[in-house]
Amino acid sequence: MVSRRPPHPHFAVVGPRVQCVRKTAGWTQEGLASAIGVSTRTISNLECGTFAVSLERLFDIAAALKVRLGALVDAESPLPVASPPPETAEILQYYLRLSDADRALAV
């Protein structure tokens, strides 16, 4: 049995950042895996921080998600915030126009 060296501790930062950016962009693990030519398990392991990914693969991920590489690897870089779909703002406007009694029924 070959023992694998555990990934560098920085991957504990990279994985969750990849997951956050992926989800913010509306991608599934399956979709990202397909886009960059790896298995879904590879994406899962990367996001859990249990898989050391190459710089080339990180560039592929960044390109697919349309973010700078720094968004994935720089722990000091702010994570992107998802913009809600336009219909969300419209629904919120309708909700805010309701009376307190009607809001209680809506929730």
C-alpha 92/C-alpha 80 separation (Å) is 22
Average pLDDT, the chain: 83
Instruction: Tell me how far CA of residue 25 lies from CA of 7, 62, 79, in angstroms.
Output: 26, 11, 11
**Mind listing the pLDDT tens digit for each residue in 38-83?**
999 999 999 988 888 889 999 999 999 999 898 898 888 777 666 6
Confidence of residue 2 (pLDDT cuts 50, 70, 90): very low
Give the pLDDT confidence score for residue 35 in this predicted structure: 96
